[in-house]
A and B are shown apart, each in its own frame.
Chain A
Amino acid sequence: MFLKKIACGLLCAAMLVAAGCGGVGTQTGGDKAYLQLTDAAGRQVSLAKKPERVVSLSPSYLSMIEAVGGTVVGRASSKVGKIPESMKSVPEVGMVYNINMEALVGLKPDLVLASKNQHDKFIPMLQSNKINVVEFDTQTFEDVKGTIKTLGDIYGTQDKAQKENELLDKQVAAVTSKLPKEKKRIVIMHATASAVTVEGSHSIAGCVSDILGFENVAAAALKGKSNKTPYSMETLVEQNPEIIFITSMGKPEEIENRLRTDFKNNPAWNSLPAVKAGRVYVLPEKLFLINPGLRYPEAVKFMAQQVYPEVFTNGK
């Protein structure tokens, strides 16, 4: 990786010199470029001028773009997740995973916002069309705030972005301040009764539970591993988490009912005390599977509410 970076840097420098961009070498553009940034994939991106035709390859960025006062000329379609009203009529460039490059390039974007891992394969093609790409990673709350900040930089609306982030922080603090000071032992699993898959801190639900100060019993074993990992049920029984959260796909109520009966009829699941005690909560997909973006505080509140319903009974 490191060598690659060096090679990349050298190549860039060589190209700059070759193009006659002037003798400042690697520091070029510091005062010329509109914006220079390092994106979530560690790529250096330099925007020569303020982008005017932005396309978002991930629908979950749209509400954040709207919040910082930005606009897009194209977006990916999605079967799940909400698209802001004002962006519904914007031309679509295919499904998130399966972007239609012709439609995308046809929109003549000057900046494409992509999702790390999901869209890596499209980057070389975009670069060969001389289209700038910024990749984001939006699993954790910090990621989301970082994304908003970067979007503010891109659209030149830093103040709006900062306000938005302060608002998010305040909303999250409003939830966490109400919680009793105790460390609930929890585990987050990915829905399906036929596999045992846990999520660590680098997932939306994992990050939310960290914000709430819960102890994720599986976190130690996962470390930096990918966010969904098959896990031993035996170890779960031994670790005995008090609460099981389930990240779901589909309608949460149906899934909750379904899982409860599935669990009841399966002695293996029934060995978990949390299952016996009925402390299994389904997390809705719109907040915990696809990135909630601006609704992160909602996700935080949702999870807190499941565990401490008594704290959140009055009003909000």
Chain B
Amino acid sequence: MENKQSAEQTEHFGIGRTKWRITILVIFLFLAVLGSFLSLTKGSSIISIKEITDILLNPGDDPRSQIIWNIRMPRTIVGALVGINLSLSGAILQAIMRNPLADPHIIGISSGAGLAGVVIMILFPAMEYLITPVAFIGAMLAAVCIYILAWKNGIKPVRIILAGVAVSAFLGAGISGLMIFYSDRVHGALMWMVGGLAARSWPHVNIILPYAVIGLILALASAAYLNILQLGDEMARGLGVNVEVTRIILTAIAALLAASAVSVVGLLGFVGLVVPHAARLLIGSDYRFLLPASALLGIAIVTLSDTFARVIFAPIELPVGIIMAFLGAPFFLFLLRREI
């Protein structure tokens, strides 16, 4: 956190701090809009922008209208919402754990949802319709479990992280075990582990939208608390914050955000870790700016990656998780090198 202050005190390209932050927010907003726009206009079937405008104004019953309205549009929206939820979740967790490696994985969301999803896909394939609620329950159970395990006269972030690693390893063993004993059936499970947006449509939008909206409002409302928690428990207590309660509530918000995203699209882990960091490197650690910046960058990264995943080998599709890691990791390293 020391270099936070120095980073904030320096002026960026001669622009004042607030101006710089607003500029970055505007750039992220532009990227988010660009990503959503490309996601809607590019795909394996070539439809011109003019045609898309016509279709959007006068929806019909022809295949192209179907493609735009029922395939591309909901997919873009699900992608954007997933981007928001995972980035916010990661940003919140990084503040309350005061650890740069904190992300939805660390509180067990991914492994919980992963195991629940794989159990459904491999053992009860006929009940696949339950995968979203079951994955959600699995994610939340794992998160609660980790929190309880880490509790010893209060919560220490380090204990949460270590409990998280242990529980994730435990659940991960379950996933691997199932995959080995049912080797004929692993394909669906693998796709779930990588995460993807194929075949996502309006019902999925309905599932994830309330969490995204409520989560975004709650997260923005608690930006001040997140700023204080970053200073350390002692300092936060001195400032009159009930650290334990705040941390539980914020962890719950982060868990709900991530669980809703992961239960719909599978284990898209990368967004939650990298997006908040990338945003932080550019905009600083003030959560009043960092939260909206993370949300916008999350939208941009998920929609752009998904568009890329759909177009690059069309009509063959890559799962978005793979593209995201391929494009995101080098970009992230670039930012990191530049900053240090």
Contact = CB atoms under 8 A, between A and B. Distances in A.
A314 interface: no
B315 A249 contact: no
Contact of B316 (A221, A266, A268): A221
A46 interface: no
Contacts of B192: 194-195
Contact of A271 (B44, B66, B310, B315): B66
A230 B129 contact: no
A229 B313 CA distance: 11
Given A196-B199, A249-B125, A234 B45 contact: yes
Contacts, number: 144
Contacts of B70: 267-268, 270-271
A271 B184 contact: no
Contacts of B127: 258
Interface stretch (B143-151, B200-208, B275-283, B328-336): B200-208
Chain A interface residue bracket vs B:
35 or more
A193 B180 CA distance: 23
B199 A235 contact: no
Interface in B102-128: 121-122, 124-128
A17 interface: no
A97 to B, nearest CB: 4
Nearest to B266: A194
B328 to A, nearest CB: 19
Nearest to B196: A195
B90 interface: no
Contact of B188 (A218, A249, A261, A267): A249
Interface in B191-216: 191-192, 196, 198-203
A232 B314 contact: yes
Interface residues of B, number: 46
B63 interface: yes
B183 A95 contact: yes
B98 interface: no
B318 A230 contact: yes
Contacts of A285: 184
Given A237-B67, A267-B70, A271-B63, A228 B315 contact: no
29 contacts: A79-B182, A95-B180, A97-B180, A98-B180, A191-B188, A192-B188, A194-B188, A195-B188, A196-B198, A196-B199, A230-B198, A232-B43, A232-B44, A232-B310, A233-B71, A234-B43, A235-B315, A240-B63, A249-B188, A251-B126, A254-B126, A255-B126, A258-B128, A258-B129, A266-B203, A267-B74, A268-B74, A271-B66, A271-B67
Interface of A: 79-80, 95-98, 118, 190-197, 218, 221-222, 225, 228-238, 240, 248-251, 254-255, 258, 261-262, 265-271, 285, 289-290
Interface of B: 43-45, 63, 66-67, 69-72, 74-75, 121-122, 124-129, 131, 180-185, 187-188, 191-192, 196, 198-203, 266, 310, 314-319
